[in-house]
A and B are shown apart, each in its own frame.
Chain A
Amino acid sequence: MASIRFEKAQRWYPGADAPAVPGIDLEIRDGEFMVLVGPSGCGKSTTLRMLAGLEAVNEGKIFIGDRDITALPPKDRDIAMVFQNYALYPHMSVEDNMAFALKIAKVPAQQRKQRVREAAEMLGLTEYLQRKPKALSGGQRQRVAMGRAIVRSPQVFCMDEPLSNLDAKMRVQTRTDIAKLQSDLGTTTVYVTHDQVEAMTMGDRVAVMNVGELQQVDTPLRLYDHPDNLFVAGFIGSPQMNLMKAVAVDGKAKIGDYLVPVDPASQRKMSGKVTVGVRPEAWRLTSDGGEGLPITVTLVEDLGADSFIYGTSEVEGTPSTVIVRVSERGRIHKGDVIHVTTDPRNVHVFDTNSGERLSD
Chain B
Amino acid sequence: MTDTVTAPAAASPARKARKPATHFDPNPAKAGWFTRIVLLVICVLWLIPLIGALVTSFRTTSDAANTGWWSVIVHPSTLSSLTLQNYSSALGGTQHMGTAFINSLAITLPATFIPILIASFAAYAFTFIEFKGREFLFLTIVAMLVVPNYVAFIPILKLYRDVGLNGSFPAAWLAHIGFGMSLAVYILRNYMSTLPKTVIESAKMDGASHYMTFYRLVLPMSVPALASFAIFQFLWVWNDLLVALVFIGPGNNEPVTVALTGLQGQFGKGWELVTAGGFITMLLPVIVFFALQRFFIRGLTAGAVKG
By a beta-carbon cutoff of 8 Å, the part of chain A in contact with chain B is 52-54, 73-75, 79-81, 83-91, 100-101, 104-105, 132-136, 138, 141, 148, 152, 165
Is B305 touching A132 in the complex (CB atoms < 8 A)?
no
Bound Cα distance from A266 to B89, whole angstroms: 106
Question: Which of B96-104, B200-208, B265-273 participates in binding chain A?
Answer: B200-208
Is A87 touching B302 in the complex (CB atoms < 8 A)?
no
Q: Within residues 180 to 227 of chain B, which ones have a CB less than 8 A from any CB in chain A?
A: 196, 198-199, 201-208, 212, 216-217, 220-221
Bound Cα distance from A53 to B203, whole angstroms: 12
Is A133 touching B204 in the complex (CB atoms < 8 A)?
no
* Residue in B196, B202, B299 whose beta carbon sits within 8 Å of that of A81 in the complex: B202
Bound Cα distance from A135 to B205, whole angstroms: 24
Nearest A residue to B305, CB-CB? A85
Q: Does B75 touch A at the CB level, under 8 Å? A: no
Given contacts A86-B306, A88-B304, A90-B304, is CB(A75)–CB(B198) below 8 Å? no
Given contacts A54-B204, A100-B206, A104-B207, is CB(A85)–CB(B300) below 8 Å? no
Is B202 touching A134 in the complex (CB atoms < 8 A)?
no
Is A105 touching B207 in the complex (CB atoms < 8 A)?
yes
Q: Does B252 touch A at the CB level, under 8 Å? A: no
**A74 neighbours in B (Cβ, 8 Å):** 204-205, 207
**B199 neighbours in A (Cβ, 8 Å):** 87-90
Is B206 touching A85 in the complex (CB atoms < 8 A)?
no
* Residue in B201, B205, B301, B305 whose beta carbon sits within 8 Å of that of A80 in the complex: B205
**B208 neighbours in A (Cβ, 8 Å):** 75, 100, 104
Is A87 touching B204 in the complex (CB atoms < 8 A)?
no
Is A87 touching B202 in the complex (CB atoms < 8 A)?
yes
Q: Does B303 touch A at the CB level, under 8 Å? A: yes
**A100 neighbours in B (Cβ, 8 Å):** 203, 206, 208, 216
**A81 neighbours in B (Cβ, 8 Å):** 201-202, 205
* Residue in B206, B220, B304 whose beta carbon sits within 8 Å of that of A101 in the complex: B206
**A80 neighbours in B (Cβ, 8 Å):** 205
**A88 neighbours in B (Cβ, 8 Å):** 199, 202, 303-305
Given contacts A87-B198, A89-B217, is CB(A104)–CB(B306) below 8 Å? no
Nearest B residue to A52, CB-CB? B205
Chain A min CB distance to B305 (Å): 4
**B205 neighbours in A (Cβ, 8 Å):** 52-54, 74-75, 79-81, 101
**B204 neighbours in A (Cβ, 8 Å):** 53-54, 73-75
Bound Cα distance from A75 to B207, whole angstroms: 4
By a beta-carbon cutoff of 8 Å, the part of chain B in contact with chain A is 196, 198-199, 201-208, 212, 216-217, 220-221, 299-306
Bound Cα distance from A90 to B206, whole angstroms: 15
Is B207 touching A133 in the complex (CB atoms < 8 A)?
no
Bound Cα distance from A58 to B286, whole angstroms: 56
* Residue in A73, A87, A101 whose beta carbon sits within 8 Å of that of B305 in the complex: A87
Bound Cα distance from A165 to B196, whole angstroms: 15
**A75 neighbours in B (Cβ, 8 Å):** 204-208
Nearest A residue to B306, CB-CB? A165
Is B201 touching A54 in the complex (CB atoms < 8 A)?
yes
Closest 9 CB pairs of A and B: A134-B303, A133-B303, A85-B305, A75-B207, A101-B206, A87-B198, A90-B304, A87-B202, A134-B302
* Residue in A54, A90, A101, A141 whose beta carbon sits within 8 Å of that of B301 in the complex: A90
* Residue in B198, B201, B212, B302 whose beta carbon sits within 8 Å of that of A104 in the complex: B212
Is A133 touching B304 in the complex (CB atoms < 8 A)?
yes
Is B302 touching A90 in the complex (CB atoms < 8 A)?
yes
- Interface core residue of B199, B201, B208, B306 (most chain A CB under 10 Å): B306
* Residue in B202, B301, B302, B303 whose beta carbon sits within 8 Å of that of A83 in the complex: B202
Is A138 touching B306 in the complex (CB atoms < 8 A)?
yes
**B206 neighbours in A (Cβ, 8 Å):** 75, 100-101, 104, 148, 152
Besides the contacts A88-B305, A89-B199, what 5 more A-B pairs have beta carbons closer than 8 Å? A84-B306, A87-B202, A90-B199, A132-B303, A133-B304
Is B303 touching A135 in the complex (CB atoms < 8 A)?
yes
Nearest A residue to B212, CB-CB? A104
Nearest B residue to A102, CB-CB? B206
Bound Cα distance from A132 to B220, whole angstroms: 14
Bound Cα distance from A81 to B201, whole angstroms: 9
Nearest B residue to A149, CB-CB? B205
5 A-B pairs whose Cβ atoms sit less than 8 Å apart in the complex? A75-B206, A79-B205, A87-B198, A89-B216, A90-B300
- Interface core residue of B196, B202, B203, B208 (most chain A CB under 10 Å): B202
Chain A min CB distance to B28 (Å): 26
**A148 neighbours in B (Cβ, 8 Å):** 202, 206
Given contacts A89-B199, A91-B220, is CB(A101)–CB(B207) below 8 Å? yes
* Residue in B221, B299, B304 whose beta carbon sits within 8 Å of that of A87 in the complex: B304
Nearest B residue to A91, CB-CB? B220
Given contacts A133-B304, A135-B303, A136-B303, is CB(A91)–CB(B221) below 8 Å? yes
Bound Cα distance from A133 to B307, whole angstroms: 12
Bound Cα distance from A79 to B207, whole angstroms: 10
Is B202 touching A90 in the complex (CB atoms < 8 A)?
no
Nearest B residue to A104, CB-CB? B207
Chain A min CB distance to B202 (Å): 4
- Interface core residue of A89, A101, A132, A133 (most chain B CB under 10 Å): A89
**A54 neighbours in B (Cβ, 8 Å):** 201, 204-205
Chain B min CB distance to A2 (Å): 16
Bound Cα distance from A133 to B204, whole angstroms: 19
Bound Cα distance from A104 to B212, whole angstroms: 9
Bound Cα distance from A84 to B305, whole angstroms: 8
Given contacts A104-B207, A105-B207, is CB(A86)–CB(B305) below 8 Å? yes
**A141 neighbours in B (Cβ, 8 Å):** 303, 306
Nearest B residue to A88, CB-CB? B304
Nearest B residue to A138, CB-CB? B306
